[in-house]
Chains A and B, each alone.
Chain A
Amino acid sequence: MDQRGLVERAQGGDHDAFAALVDLSIARLDTAARLILRDPELARDAVQETLFIAWRRLRGLRDPDRFDAWLHRLLVNASLDILRRRRRRVIEVELLTIDAPTTTDTVGAIADRDLLDAALARLDPGHRAVVVLHYYLGMPLPDVAQAVGIPLGTAKSRLHYALGAMRSSVLAEPSAGPTAMAGGQPA
């Protein structure tokens, strides 16, 4: 059965259909929440809250084909709510040991997941949410704006800022400090 059929059955109260929807979405939601929240435990909380709300309010979804967009919006809301509730709590971000690139090739540099991870960590959650929704979950920018609850222009400017910050951060990282260059020379 396709996803639309599962959503319609779940809207009718079929909990097995909802469990199938959970199976289809939980890994994607967990990854997105990890990216936004930078904390696996908080990500777990956000995904749980998202799916609880989704089950409770599923009958309010008018267009079953919009299930994914709706779910992503719930996830962003849950994630940002968690951050607000816990804003006094220090979120531990894993400190990185930054390995130098083996070449000066840009693709090689940005392919380093740790560099990107560090760059992402420097963004505030609102900017991270826009990046994650657009580039990881593949949502069109108007849908991103709607999900985050901001005007389209703000979403565009956040994305522009976030990309610029990540790019400059990633590309500048090799020469940013004494730990960045452990070796390596142009081929």
Chain B
Amino acid sequence: MTSEQRFERDLPALLADVGLGPRPDYRDDIVRQTATMRQRPAWTLPERWLPMSVLSTRVASSPRVPLRLVAVAALLIVAIVGVLLVVGSRSRVPAPFGVAANGLVAFSLAGDIYTVDPSGTTSAKAVVTGNDDDSDPAFSLDGTKMVFLRASPTDPNRGRLVVASVDGSHQMVITPDPLQQPARYSFSPDGNEIAFTTGTNGDGTLWIARTDGSATPREIKVDMQVKQPVWAPPDGREIVFASVTPDGTPNGLYAVDVHGGQVRTILGPVDGVGRDVARVSPDGSRLAYSASSTAISDHNSYVVHVVGIDGSGDITLPMPPRATFQDQPVWSNDGKRLAVTRGYAAYNEEMAVAILPADGSGVGIETTHGISGCCDNILDWSPADTSILFHPDPNNGGTGQQILIDPDTGATTQPAWAATSLPAWQRVAR
């Protein structure tokens, strides 16, 4: 046996000897203090849902670094940055619309916000923690910031919107007064504003808040109940929305000028037709939306349309023969495809996600049936259009856990993270 082998063989006993001290005399203190502490419920603990490896964010102490070396390195970095600023002025953030590279996925769990590299090469990282109940993060279109909902500690139906850097730092409450169910929040293309709605189930009043918190949120008065507003590419000058009648029936599609307040009708109300879920194509030229017939009462009658942003050239996207309805269209970032939820039963009993060409030339491909039940399923394409993150509506007894869909094959996989929040995928420069 070599001396090295003997060293390793003897090391456990030697360590036990080196570390040996008197029997710890603080055992009773620990037992007494823990007796007064309440255990946290299992559902509030991320490790109950995520493997320990996913939650492992600990970084061991760094080795001591010579300060002189650090100073020299810092000077070099400053010099390099200066050269880069002079030589190249190309921004390293993506354009607000169109195909970009895939960045992080953000999700909420048990009141905290996490980010994770969806490639699975690193662990999920808790970026916003603490006693606040935070949920449903959404990234800015340049991928540098996020906004999330912080529930009021005294009223679960009210909350504030908080903007933060992607690493959770620089948190800024942008809606100081708690609002009734703020929802559908999204960054403007330039990242300086956030549009959102308030009201029952998140539909109702349209607001815009400054992301730097420099002004109180302003209401965008459109004299209608607003449903699912979206910033219109390419410049975000307009916000497109579906209106809702006081009894909750969706009808027309409109655009409001963010600065002037003028409302433009894209598709006016038509008796017996309920229009909903308006989504503008990445180049700003077309609009995908759902429309239902109020005359049909024995099954869900939604079909997906694509129309010019000025309301011209309306087409209905085809469905396979057995399908009963299509709903919830979401544009791919290249503007060529739409992901939709597709039903094969009277209502929401047998759902699939379909990916079909936006020009109406085919029924596309789809996932296996039964991927979700009712109703408010949310889809989000990855910035590179290589994957679709699907949040199945949890209101049918399912878990609501996110699912990844391959848009080319319809194959589904369970992501490495366990999230039940709305999908959010960071755009980064290619």
Contacts and interface: CB of A to CB of B under 8 A. Distances in A.
B8 interface: yes
A70 B21 contact: no
A110 B10 contact: yes
Quick one: which of A48, A129, A170 has the most chain B CB within 10 A? A48
B60 A110 contact: no
A161 to B, nearest CB: 10
Given A73-B52, A110-B10, A56 B40 contact: yes
Given A60-B46, A107-B10, A149-B56, A26 B63 contact: no
Contact of A70 (B31, B48, B52, B61): B52
Quick one: which of B16, B31, B63 has the most chain A CB within 10 A? B31
Interface string A96-126: 0000000000110011010011001000111
A48 B30 contact: yes
Contacts of B64: 124
A44 interface: yes
A80 B34 contact: no
A51 interface: yes
Contacts of A60: 40, 42, 45-48
Contacts of B47: 57, 60-62
Contacts of A126: 60-63
A70 B56 CA distance: 11
Quick one: which of B17, B34, B48, B60 has the most chain A CB within 10 A? B60
B7 A59 contact: no
B90 interface: no
Interface stretch (A1-9, A29-37, A177-185): A29-37
Contact of A171 (B3, B48, B58): B3
Contacts of A107: 3, 6, 10
Given A60-B40, A60-B46, A111-B10, A136 B58 contact: no
Interface string A141-162: 0000011111000000000000
A48 B29 contact: yes
Contact of B63 (A30, A124, A132): A124
B18 interface: yes
A141 to B, nearest CB: 13
A95 B306 CA distance: 79
Contacts of A27: 23-24
Given A55-B34, A70-B52, A106 B57 contact: no
Nearest to B33: A52
Contacts of B123: 149
Interface in B54-86: 56-64
A166 B7 CA distance: 9
Contacts of A171: 3
B65 to A, nearest CB: 11
Contacts of B27: 22-23, 26
A83 B63 CA distance: 13
Interface residues of B, number: 48
Contact of A44 (B23, B26, B46): B26
A60 B27 CA distance: 23
Nearest to A61: B47
Quick one: which of A30, A32, A117 has the most chain B CB within 10 A? A30
Interface in A7-52: 13, 15, 18-19, 22-23, 26-27, 30-32, 34-35, 40, 43-44, 47-48, 51-52
Contacts of B12: 135-136, 138
A31 B19 contact: yes
A172 to B, nearest CB: 12
A135 to B, nearest CB: 5
Contacts of B24: 26-27, 30, 44, 47
A163 B15 CA distance: 13
B11 interface: yes
Nearest to A105: B3
Contacts of A83: 61
A170 B7 contact: yes
B2 to A, nearest CB: 9
Nearest to B26: A44
Contacts of B34: 15, 18, 51-52, 55
B21 A40 contact: yes
A77 B47 CA distance: 15
B52 A148 contact: no
Contact of A124 (B20, B52, B61): B61
24 contacts: A15-B35, A18-B31, A26-B30, A30-B24, A31-B16, A35-B19, A48-B26, A52-B34, A58-B39, A60-B46, A80-B58, A110-B3, A110-B7, A111-B10, A111-B14, A113-B14, A113-B17, A116-B18, A126-B61, A135-B12, A138-B12, A149-B59, A163-B8, A170-B7
Q: Which 6 A-B pairs have the closest CB atoms?
A: A60-B45, A149-B58, A126-B60, A31-B19, A106-B3, A59-B42
Interface of B: 3-4, 6-8, 10-12, 14-21, 23-24, 26-27, 29-31, 33-35, 37-42, 45-48, 52-53, 56-64, 123
